[in-house]
């Protein structure tokens, strides 16, 4: 099965948690732009140095930096038969670039899953994660900014994918297992 999936949803909706589970069930790699950026920041690579100040402020890393990174990652062998993108695309330019990457590969998306979340619940989850994991961008001011940037720049992409008949919306509130089951059930008719 070759599922090519995008996960959309505000910070705190549980994309990372669900991405790991869905990728395991479908046997496709989960590609998280946030995780790749954080690993590069930790290793102080050139990419990490370019991304860090945006991440610390809750702003998006510039499109040209992000697009180049994703193009490289999608060209790796393990993504040839499918992937789950977590955190990309997040801007209209990223949508266009992803379209181009898939077109050159002669493929297209299977579905776009939008995980919806209550804003205050999302903030509470991220503050809890901050206490447990100490993620640099999980403080309340930056969390609020990330939610704002998502609402302005990324939430509208759901309509773009809905127009293409690709959008599946899933309620991200409730137990982790329940959300995974909802996502798998919503995807089932589209996987073959």
Say whether 90 is catalytic. yes
Whole-number Å distance between alpha carbons of 23 and 84: 6
Q: In angstroms, what is the minimal distance from the CB of 192 to ligand ADP?
A: 28
From the centroid of its chain, how far is CA 123? Answer: 17
Angle CA(27)–CA(95)–CA(114) in degrees, nearest 5? 55
88 touches ligand ADP by CB under 6 A: yes
DSSP tag of 58: T
Binding pattern to ligand ADP, positions 11-50, x when CB under 6 A? x---------------------xx--x-------------
From residue 182, alpha-carbon distances to 46, 171, 178 in Å are 39, 8, 6
User: Which residue in this structure is represented by tokens 């948690």?
Assistant: 17
Smaller CB separation from ligand ADP, 124 or 185: 124
How many helices (H) and strands (E) in the chain? 9, 5
Catalytic residue among 4, 15, 21, 38: 15
Residue number closest to ligand ADP, CB atom: 34
161 touches ligand ADP by CB under 6 A: no
Angle CA(11)–CA(179)–CA(36) in degrees, nearest 5? 40
Smaller CB separation from ligand ADP, 4 or 90: 90
Q: In angstroms, what is the minimal distance from the CB of 166 to ligand ADP?
A: 18
Instruction: Identify the CA nearest to 6 among candidates 170, 117, 176.
Output: 170
Angle between helices 46-57 and 33-42 (to 10 degrees): 110
Instruction: Identify the residue among 4, 21, 90, 125 touching ligand ADP (CB under 6 A).
Output: 90
Catalytic residue among 50, 73, 135, 190: 135
Q: Where does this chain touch ligand ADP (CB under 6 A) — which range of 59-67, 103-111, 156-164, 165-173? A: 59-67
Which residues contribute to the site for ligand ADP (CB under 6 A)?
A: 11, 33-34, 37, 54-55, 58, 60-61, 66, 87-88, 90, 94, 137, 146
Q: Active-site residues: which are they?
A: 15, 90, 129, 135, 146
């Amino acid at each position: 099965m070759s599922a090519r999936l995008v996960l959309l949803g505000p910070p705190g909706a549980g994309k990372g948690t669900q991405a790991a589970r869905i990728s395991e069930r479908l046997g496709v790699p989960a590609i998280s732009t946030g995780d790749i950026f954080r690993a590069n920041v930790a290793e102080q690579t050139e990419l990490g140095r370019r991304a860090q100040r945006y991440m610390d402020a809750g702003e998006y890393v510039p499109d040209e930096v992000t697009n180049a990174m994703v193009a490289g990652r999608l060209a790796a062998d393990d993504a040839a038969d499918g992937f789950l993108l977590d955190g990309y695309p997040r801007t209209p330019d990223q949508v266009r670039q992803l379209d181009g990457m898939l077109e050159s590969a002669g493929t297209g998306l299977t579905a776009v899953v939008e995980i919806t979340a209550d804003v205050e619940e999302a903030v509470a989850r991220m503050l809890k994660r901050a206490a447990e994991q100490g993620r640099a961008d999980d403080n309340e001011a930056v969390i609020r900014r990330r939610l704002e940037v998502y609402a302005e720049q990324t939430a509208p992409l759901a309509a773009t994918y809905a127009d293409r008949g690709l959008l599946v919306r899933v309620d991200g509130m409730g137990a982790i297992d329940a959300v995974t089951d909802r996502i798998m059930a919503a995807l089932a008719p589209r996987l073959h």
